[in-house]
Structure formats: C-alpha cells, structure tokens
Amino acid sequence: MNAPIGVIDSGVGGLTVVRELRKYLPDEPIVYIGDDARCPYGPRPAEEVLQFTMEMVESLAQMGVKMVVIACNTATAIALEEVQKRYDFPVIGVIQPGARAAVKASLTGEIAVLGTMGTVNSKAYDHAIQRLQPQATIYSLACPGFVPIVESGAYRSLQARMIVDQTLQSLQASSFDTVILGCTHYPLLQEHIEDHFLHNKQIISSAVETVVDIERILTEKHILSAAATEPIFYTTGSIEKFQSIVEDWLSIERPDVRTITF
Ligand code: DGL
C-alpha cells in the first residue's frame, strides 16, 4: 500500500525519527508536518498541545496517510490516547518505544529522562518505565533550553554545548547508567550530551525502537509500501530554515518543503 506514513512534531525534532525510518524502511513514502511557528510545545498548557496535535493529524488524515507517528514526546504524553480514539488508522507515539529501549539497555535500573517541561510533568516516562520494571529508579530533568537552540539551527555551536553542560549539571549527584533523550529534538544535541557524560552513559533515543513498532504494524496489517518516493515536508514556520536542517540532518539535497497553516 503506497499511501504515506504521516509524521508530526512541534518542529524539526521528528526528523530524528524520519532519519531512522528512511534507513530501516527506505521504501516507505513519508509526509511530515512540523509546527515550527508554534514550537516549543513543552511549556504550553495541555489543552493547547492537544488542539495543535489534532490539527496536524486531521491534515494528515485528509492527505490520506495510512498511519500516523506522533514523533514528539510532549504531544505523545498529552494527546496519543485521544488521537488513537478518533482515527481508524494506526497511531503510535515515541514514549513507549523509548522506555522499552532504556529498560533493555540499563544494567542498574537507574535511568535519567531528559525531556520538555510538558513531558516531565506528565510523568509519562515514569509510568511507562515502571510498567516494564517496577523497581526502576528514574531521574527526570526538564531541559527548556534545548528545543529553542535546535530550532534555531545552531545545534552544533559552542552555545549549544554550553546550554547542554549547564543544564545537565544538576544530574551530577545522581547515579544512573542510561539516559533517555525524551524529546525528539535532543538527538541533534547528542554529541554534546555524550561529551558531557564523558561517554560513559548509554544514550537512548526512541527513534530506532519507534521504527521497530512501525514495521511491525505495517507488516501485521499488510500495508508495507514497495515504492520509495521523496518525503514531503510541511512546516508552519520558515521554509528556508526547515530546508537547511533537513539537508544537514537527512542529507537530502533540495528537499520538498512546503508551507502549511492552521
Ligand atoms: N520534539 C518535541 C518533543 O519530543 C519537542 C517539544 C517542544 O516543542 O517543546 O517533546
């Protein structure tokens, strides 16, 4: 079935999921919506995140997608169940796969979760991890400086490194062996995060595990695609900025980036 997979995020963060999707399921057509004009979602009230998420999913539904991936932890925490209730096609989020990967990776059961204010306050990771491993110890940290620096495109800069170092300092006294990048924007800062932890923590991004779930669902429903097409990206923000991040992160030359408004 050559209908596309719809992927949404508050901005460019979901591209970290798209990168893995293209690597492991290269024949799948993708249509992506990034709500960059209203990013970040992290500090917004839950009703607003729910409304924005619904707007994006409804647009994807009208475009005829065969499934939706909410490639945003904040939106997953707040809106996943509601979206699943309203649509007939499969809808998955990124928190369950991230929690599963972390529990698999951690030897000590002590896990740090980095996320937005919305994700941390929702305790969605705590619940997902504890369902899999009731004894787990979880240290959650909201990192409000991370999404704006990624959205600005300056994620490789010295300023980004300083923001990462300053933010993560508060985890210094805690003992954990695994760190969940509980926001899809954070893999763009992964080098800084790994350097900060002196490369002795397991860093988990939910992207790969999410693709495992996508493949399982498409296979079960017999709706895998057989013909690759270039992805189409929609943004509510600047086309040029979005394009340059897609070029850099996904190595796609002159990507098809279009405007969408809600
Ligand atoms: N990529 C979103 C997430 O995973 C970023 C949230 C935001 O916009 O603050 O939570």
Residue spans of the domains in the chain: they are: 5-93+208-259, 95-206
Q: How far is Cα 92 from Cα 123, in angstroms, rounded to an integer?
A: 18
pTM (2 decimals)?
0.96
Q: How far is the CA of 174 from the centre of ligand 1 (A)?
A: 24
Architecture in CATH for domain 95-206: 3-Layer(aba) Sandwich (3.40)
- State the pLDDT at residue 229: 87
Q: Nearest-CA neighbor of 249 among 187, 181, 179, 164?
A: 187
DSSP E strand boundaries for the chain: 5-9, 30-34, 67-70, 91-92, 110-115, 137-142, 178-181, 202-205, 232-235, 256-259
5-93+208-259 under CATH 3.40.50.1860, yes or no? yes
Q: How far is the CA of 227 from the centre of ligand 1 (A)?
A: 31
State yes or no: is 39 an active-site residue.
Answer: no
42 Cα nearest atom in ligand 1: 9
Question: Which long-range contacts (C-beta less than 8 Å, at least 24 apart) are formed by 194-203?
Answer: 195/161, 196/164, 196/165, 196/168, 197/168, 201/112, 201/176, 201/177, 202/105, 202/106, 202/177, 202/178, 203/178, 203/179
Segments of the chain with pLDDT less than 70 = 1
Q: Do domains 5-93+208-259 and 95-206 have the same CATH topology?
A: yes
115 Cα nearest atom in ligand 1: 10
- State the pLDDT at residue 181: 97
| Residue 256, φ and ψ in degrees, nearest 5 | -80, 95
